[in-house]
Structure 1
Amino acid sequence: MNPFEKIFNYQIISRLDESDAIALTSQERAWLRSALAHGASSDAFTAETLAKLKQLLQDEADIDHSRMLVEKAKSAERQVYHPLLRTLRRLIMQGKGMLLTSRIKHGGTKNNQSGLPFKLEYSMVKREWYLLWYSARGRSLMSTKLQSIVSIEETSLPAERAEAWRSRMSALLEARRERTVIEVIRTYNAELSRILYAFSCFDKSVQYDEETNLYRIHLSYLADESEFLLSRIRFLGLRVKLVEGDGLRRRMRESAEKALERYGMTEHRDKEG
């Protein structure tokens, strides 16, 4: 690799931003060429875009993963990219309505449900894509697995009605949203990037106090994501501490007490207390 292929110069980067251009290294181009060989690429891109990308990358070398990676035994792979993602993103961006037909959990289908697609979410726990949408009939916020969707038909909506429904959905989502504050233990300040990566799927902001040399991470999450958030906090162990959020702190205390009880430490703890 030419070490000067990507130059991080302010003037160059600013010019690239102004022209909506991106500087790519040879490794990044080779990786993209290899990624396009995956079967999911035909669902991720239109035929024209896929053909253009392959043409632009035809002179790039392939990445030989066989000598770099060893894959261990695993469970059956579930497709992360869903064919409906591109269609739904377009409907959401254009403010279009839809007629949705979906499978019911215990059999059968619900046909031609009228509504407005609002947001796509990926559950890290269930490893499933979900569509959040507004039901015109029920006047409520709905969540449907993309795997359960049989068909989607685009419909037109007056701009005023679409905007009113989006405002209502935003209010409903905000009502379900909870917040917490996580403090990084000073000893592990150097691992801040790793800690932030563990919370990468949540809305967050970081506050730094120069006097105490403390980082505090303000997290926003939906109520049904609390258990996954707790698993991330437990994964980080001694590096972080919950300082706000009574519900999360209570669940952490309960799991700690159960762990102590399982290993017969409750009597020892009572004597120390």
Structure 2
Amino acid sequence: MNLFEKIFNYQILSRLEDSGTFVVTSQERAWLRLMLQHPAAAEAFAPDTLQKLAAMLDGDSQLDVSGHLVEKANVSEQPVYHPLLRPLRRLIMNRSGMRISYRLKNGTICSEVSGLPYHLEYSMVKREWYLLWYHLRHRAFMSTRLNKIDSVSYESIDPATASDLFAWIKQTLEARKTEVTVEVDREYNRELSRILYAFSCFDKAVDYEEKTDTYRIRIRLMGDEMEYLLSKIRFLGKRVRVIEGWYLRKRMLEASMKALARYGELAE
């Protein structure tokens, strides 16, 4: 195996990221080559980008999953890619305004509304894409499902106004976030990569205390993401412990007490 086939040391990984180096394993390259054959890849990537990726992966082995994956039950599949992702990303990247038509929950259609797109967000719980944007007329911050949007088009906006609104939205979202600190049990430090992968969809930072050989993961998230983070912490079991974040500590304690009571451990 190549020396750099897989790196588990977080210090090395963080230094590589700071230098702009991205480490990709042969398994990940093989997986990407397989995913590029999916019909949605032609819609998700521009033709020249898709061609460039295919050329870069031409010499890699093909990932064969035919003898390893068996579909036991067919369920309705929601596509991860949405046709509006690419045009919205361009508008956000250029800090451009937009004219948007969308539908409300009660069926009301809002047509040709002026707004400023800010961020695209994928909900891991609902498995849907959301557009975070600013309603220029109502002066309100909005969150709209992409499947509720009928059309989006470019609309000019003063660059200074767009810059001020971006700064205000960022400040507002940061004020709504809560920070939770999770400590990794030293016995499972060797599984740090797996633990970080479980928290990969969250905004996080890792602190390392050399004297005690302890990793602490600081996670910043919105209130409506707490339940999803809770499921990840439960999945990791005794590998991690919540040391800051009263709500999660309370929920974990409640779940533990119920489990002990169910098996009669609290009867004594």
TM-score, normalising length: structure 1: 0.81
Distance 1:93 1:69, change over 3 A: same
Runs of at least 5 residues in structure 1 that lack an aligned partner in the other structure: 7-19
The DSSP-based 3-state class of the residue aligned with 1:79 is coil
The DSSP-based 3-state class of the residue aligned with 1:81 is coil
Distance 1:215 1:47, change over 3 A: closer
Please state if 1:269 is matched with 2:260: no
Alignment of 1:1-273 (within 5 A): 31-50=31-50, 63-261=63-261, 263=262, 265=264, 268-269=265-266, 271=268
Task: Give me the whole-angstrom Cα distance separating, in 1, the residues matched to 2:91 and 2:137.
Answer: 19
Shift of 1:191: 1.3
Task: Give me the whole-angstrom Cα distance separating, in 2, the residues matched to 1:97 and 1:58.
Answer: 40
Shift of 1:247: 1.5
Task: Give me the whole-angstrom Cα distance separating, in 1, the residues matched to 2:163 and 2:32.
Answer: 38
Task: Give me the whole-angstrom Cα distance separating, in 2, the residues matched to 1:242 and 1:225.
Answer: 16
Distance 1:49 1:191, change over 3 A: closer
Find the counterpart in structure 2 of residue 9 from structure 1: none
Task: Give me the whole-angstrom Cα distance separating, in 2, the residues matched to 1:45 and 1:105.
Answer: 31
Task: Give me the whole-angstrom Cα distance separating, in 2, the residues matched to 1:168 and 1:43.
Answer: 33
> Per-residue CA shift, 1:122-158, capped at 9, x if unaligned?
1111111111111112212111111111110110111
TM-score, normalising length: structure 2: 0.83
Task: Give me the whole-angstrom Cα distance separating, in 2, the residues matched to 1:202 and 1:223.
Answer: 12
Between 1 and 2, higher relative CO (CA 8 Å, sep ≥ 6) is seen in: 2
Task: Give me the whole-angstrom Cα distance separating, in 1, the residues matched to 2:23 and 2:231.
Answer: 37
Task: Give me the whole-angstrom Cα distance separating, in 2, the residues matched to 1:224 and 1:42.
Answer: 33
The DSSP-based 3-state class of the residue aligned with 2:258 is helix
Task: Give me the whole-angstrom Cα distance separating, in 2, the residues matched to 1:78 and 1:256.
Answer: 34
Answer yes or no: is the 8 Å Cα contact 1:141–1:172 preserved in 2. no
Task: Give me the whole-angstrom Cα distance separating, in 2, the residues matched to 1:25 and 1:195.
Answer: 18
Kindly name which structure, 1 or 2, has the bigger radius of gyration based on alpha carbons. Answer: 1
Instruction: Return 51-60 or 138-147, whichever deviates more.
Output: 51-60
Distance 1:182 1:137, change over 3 A: same
Task: Give me the whole-angstrom Cα distance separating, in 1, the residues matched to 2:74 and 2:230.
Answer: 25
Runs of at least 5 residues in structure 2 that lack an aligned partner in the other structure: 6-19
> Per-residue CA shift, 1:150-188, capped at 9, x if unaligned?
110110111110011101101110111000111111221
Task: Give me the whole-angstrom Cα distance separating, in 2, the residues matched to 1:90 and 1:116.
Answer: 12
Answer yes or no: is the 8 Å Cα contact 1:99–1:153 preserved in 2. yes
> Per-residue CA shift, 1:201-234, capped at 9, x if unaligned?
1111111212222111111111110010111111
Shift of 1:270: 5.4
Shift of 1:256: 2.4
Find the counterpart in structure 2 of residue 17 from structure 1: none
Distance 1:190 1:99, change over 3 A: same
Shift of 1:53: 5.3
Shift of 1:72: 3.4
Aligned length: 256
Instruction: Return 22-31 or 144-153, whichever deviates more.
Output: 22-31
Task: Give me the whole-angstrom Cα distance separating, in 1, the residues matched to 2:191 and 2:58.
Answer: 40
> Per-residue CA shift, 1:27-66, capped at 9, x if unaligned?
7776555433321122112244445656777788765432
Amino acid at match of 2:82: H
Task: Give me the whole-angstrom Cα distance separating, in 2, the residues matched to 1:50 and 1:27.
Answer: 19
Task: Give me the whole-angstrom Cα distance separating, in 2, the residues matched to 1:60 and 1:193.
Answer: 24
Shift of 1:258: 3.1
Percent identical residues: 51
Task: Give me the whole-angstrom Cα distance separating, in 2, the residues matched to 1:87 and 1:52.
Answer: 21
The alignment yields a C-alpha RMSD, in angstroms, of: 3.1
Distance 1:227 1:61, change over 3 A: closer
